[in-house]
Amino acid sequence: MVTANPVRCGVLGAGSFGTCLALLLAEREYAVDLWARDPKLADAINRHRRNPRYLTEFRIPECIHATSSFEEALSEKDLILSVVPSHSVRETWERAAPYLPPDALIVSATKGIEIGTGKLMSQVLQEVLPPEKHTHLVALSGPSFAQEVAEHRPTGISLASANESFAIAAQSILSTPSFRCYTNSDVLGVELGGALKNVIAIAVGVCDGMELGLNTRATMMTRGLAEITRLGVRLGANPLTFLGLSGIGDLMLTCTGDLSRNRQVGLEIGRGRKVDEVLGSLTQVAEGVRTTQSTYEVARKLGVEMPITEETYAVLYEGKDPKLAVQDLARRQLRSEYE
């Protein structure tokens, strides 16, 4: 494979966001190996130059090679993007780690919290990867629907790393005229914002599905941001991070954009469909469903009050009537806005 740019890239995950990031790298004329769990999907991408399951309307350039081999996807790479669903990050990287080059930059673009452990994706990777790889980790988050990124619509995201030089390195590799990357040192805050906004998006979707109006939507988003920040500060994040792209930026997009899978889940539940029926009809992962459970568990463990998350959990996992959940939120004890 010959390209004009010598940067060698691997993308783990051939879903919507993995595919759009591979297309982004191809735009920079990088050589890209796109890993798909299913060998049949990898073969179809190579043969037809289309992803038959995700972003099907976009042609896959010749500089992108799909593979189901970790060795092909990771060996001799300069940059590796991790874009697998949150529930499979640990298992995927336990298998992939032996093929990881010593100096590769690892960018995690998965938004979620691991169920059971309460770990963010960078923390999962730190547990799986050897210590010398930890400083090479960068978290990518922000308002970025895959469809619009692939369409070259102007997008801004955050790249966070404990080591500023690696965030800057990822910034220089990933930025294009339509994909503007900003660096950040608050890995925890950037990842939390990207994960927790999906929970609030489900709640906002429920309210919109019940046709409760724009006042309700704005209130739920604002109070949702308050509880995201409350948990973030308790865990050690910088509160200003939640006013940035990976915080309020991603929250606004996911709560109001019709391309949001999490919003769509909430909409259907608010319109009266059963939770099991809605979740069973999904063709792509809605990360907020699992993140609701993991966030609920973390908040209870730490004693952090997150009423919207608690009611969303009750609707998704305890069969609570969405109308009752909204009523219970509205009837909570009155208090200061800053509590």
- The DSSP bridge partners found for residue 141 are 158
Q: Kindly give, in sequence order, each residue whose CB lies less than 8 Å from that of residue 338, ignoring residues fewer than 6 positions away.
A: none
List active site positions: 197
Q: Kindly give, in sequence order, each residue whose CB lies less than 8 Å from that of residue 211, ignoring residues fewer than 6 positions away.
A: none
What are the C-alpha distances in Å from 211 to residues 206, 227, 306?
9, 23, 23
What are the C-alpha distances in Å from 204 to residues 157, 316, 321, 322, 324?
23, 14, 15, 11, 15
In contact, 228 and 288? CB cutoff 8 Å: no
Q: Residue 193: which region, alpha, beta or left (left: phi > 0; alpha: psi -120 to 50)?
A: alpha
DSSP string, 71-125: HHHHTT-SEEEE-S-GGGHHHHHHHHGGG--TT-EEEE----B-TTT--BHHHHH
In the sheet that 179-184 helps form, which strands lie side by side, from edge to edge? 64-67, 31-35, 8-12, 79-82, 105-108, 137-141, 155-160, 179-184
Q: Which pairing describes strands 31-35 and 105-108: parallel, antiparallel, or unpaired?
A: unpaired
CA distance 231 to 129: 27
Q: Of the candidates 83, 99, 98, 77, which has an alpha carbon nearest to the alpha carbon of residue 35?
A: 83
